[in-house]
Amino acid sequence: MVRPPFLGDPAAPPYPPIGGQGNGLAVGGLVTGILATLFGLTLFAGTLALLAFLGIPLGGTAIGLSAGGIGRARRTGTGRGAAIAGLILGILGLVAGLFLLLALVLLARALRDFE
């Protein structure tokens, strides 16, 4: 009996991985930085103001993850750009959230003094 040729051939070796290890801290910092900026600037876009306060904790998280991502990028050489972008966006989201908080406190104080 004749075997089909594919049954007798040895399996091909697996392909080597493309690239190396990624920088998960940098990617996490970038994603949370994007979310912090979006949530921190929601009041300026005219949408729900309550979501703008999420820019404060998300911004702090993005700053921490991005700082860790920059440290890992020094060791591994990957993800430096994503970590720097996450750091900048995290700072922007944090500042926007704090600015909103300050504006609402000043507005509440002015309305209290108005009555």
SS3 labels along 85-99: HHHHHHHHHHHHHHH
Predicted local confidence at residue 3, as pLDDT: 56
Predicted local confidence at residue 41, as pLDDT: 79
Predicted local confidence at residue 105, as pLDDT: 83
The structure's pTM equals 0.75
**Tens-digit pLDDT string for the chain (115 aa):** 665 555 555 666 677 666 667 899 999 999 999 999 988 877 655 555 667 788 899 999 999 999 999 999 999 889 999 999 999 999 999 998 888 888 888 888 988 887 6
Predicted local confidence at residue 5, as pLDDT: 56
Predicted local confidence at residue 66, as pLDDT: 97
